[in-house]
Amino acid sequence: MTRAGVLPSQALTALIARGAITADPAVRDDQIQPASLDLRLGTVAYRVRASFLAGHGRSVADRLAEFEMHRVDLSGGAVLEKGCVYVIPLMERLALPQGLTAVANAKSSTGRLDLLTRTITDGGVEFDRIAPGYDGPLYAEVCPRSFSVLVRPGMRLNQIRFRDGQSVLDDAELTALHRGEPLVSGKAVISEGLGFSVDLRPGDDDLVGFRAKPHTGVIDLEKIGHYPARDFWEDVRSRNGQIILDPGAFYILVSREAVTIPPDYAAEMAPYLAMVGEFRVHYAGFFDPGFGWAEAGGKGSRGVLEVRCHEAPFVLEHGQVVGRLVYERMAERPAQLYGSGIASNYQGQGLKLSKHFRMPG
């Protein structure tokens, strides 16, 4: 590595070769993304009474003994029920060198299904954060929020990134990077990251988003482009550039700005400010090097927002800043960029549901 930063695909391959990342069965080449590794579900899911963290000095297995209600064999496929919490051992495990940390997040398609997925570890005191030098198994906590889903071993709901040192860009560095190569269309709002806003501008048909229907069938995660969108989603339309978010409802919206992640950088979606409204927009939050980059076929890629309103109805207006992108340096440029010769479902995207649905027409 030439500098501190997020490890690229070729470094992940090296970590696998040296045994820092192991799996049963072995890690597949197509799990390796430009700046992350897809994680795979194991063969059993534990239905638990409540979400939990292992805590200092305790293992996830210890806590499962406290909270397990029953076990679900995933071998032939099994349904994870809406509103229930499951803990699923992953096929991958880590033996990290000291100084190397990791962070996990839901994959894009997982977030767009409102499928809350977080990574937990032995001794862990935070979701999705893996301590330096961690040596042990990985588990996914999965809670379907809007739709029940059919899963099988080997499915990939979350992904993990590895960091060597600290490489987050401060506001001055981010401003300089934006001057050299615009990171966002329109005016850049830079404050502890790059702000982005919601697009509620009425179009020709006034469609601005989608809202999950409350009572639907099961979604088999293996079926791509299979389900009619209208069976699971209702259109969200606006004629005046605003919508009212209902507490508990889940929405798919889109950013007003087109986003660019240059090849030597990665980004993560983060909340803007809790004070601007009781809603969340960052269920799935990794942006790989090359996302939205014109030379990787992504000119004009916008960020899809997975939005849930909390305590009270909230008026969301066109152009309102709802989140921020925190940029980090890559330790070196990835051998493969997002959208460039690999299966990247959301390069060049606008308002778009997960890959499981087909739109009318």
- The pTM score is 0.91
The model's confidence at residue 1, banded by pLDDT at 50, 70 and 90, is: very low
Do 159 and 180 fall within a single domain?
A: no
Do 193 and 136 fall within a single domain?
A: no
* DSSP 8-state symbol, 32: B
**Sign of the alpha-carbon torsion through 347, 315, 204, 189:** negative
Do 138 and 253 fall within a single domain?
A: no
CATH number of the domain bearing residue 42: 2.70.40.10
Do 158 and 247 fall within a single domain?
A: no
pLDDT for residue 276 is more than 70: no
Do 90 and 133 fall within a single domain?
A: yes
pLDDT of residue 129: 94
Residue type, 242: Q
Among 117, 144, 164, identify where a domain stops. Answer: 164
The model's confidence at residue 108, banded by pLDDT at 50, 70 and 90, is: confident
How many domains are contained in the chain?
A: 2
Do 206 and 253 fall within a single domain?
A: yes
Do 32 and 93 fall within a single domain?
A: yes
Do 344 and 312 fall within a single domain?
A: yes
pLDDT for residue 345 is more than 50: no
Do 146 and 180 fall within a single domain?
A: no
Do 130 and 16 fall within a single domain?
A: yes
Among 126, 143, 164, identify where a domain stops. Answer: 164
Q: Which domain holds residue 309?
A: 171-358
Tell me the average pLDDT across 286-315. 78
- Asked whether the beta carbons of 229 and 357 are under 8 A apart, the reply is yes
Do 92 and 183 fall within a single domain?
A: no
Among 164, 179, 199, identify where a domain stops. Answer: 164
Q: How many CA atoms lie within 13 A of 281 on its CB side?
A: 29
298 alpha carbon, distance to own chain's centre: 19
- Asked whether the beta carbons of 348 and 302 are under 8 A apart, the reply is no
Do 208 and 329 fall within a single domain?
A: yes
Q: For residue range 35-77, what is the model confidence (pLDDT) as tens digits?
A: 999 999 999 999 999 999 999 999 999 999 999 999 999 999 9
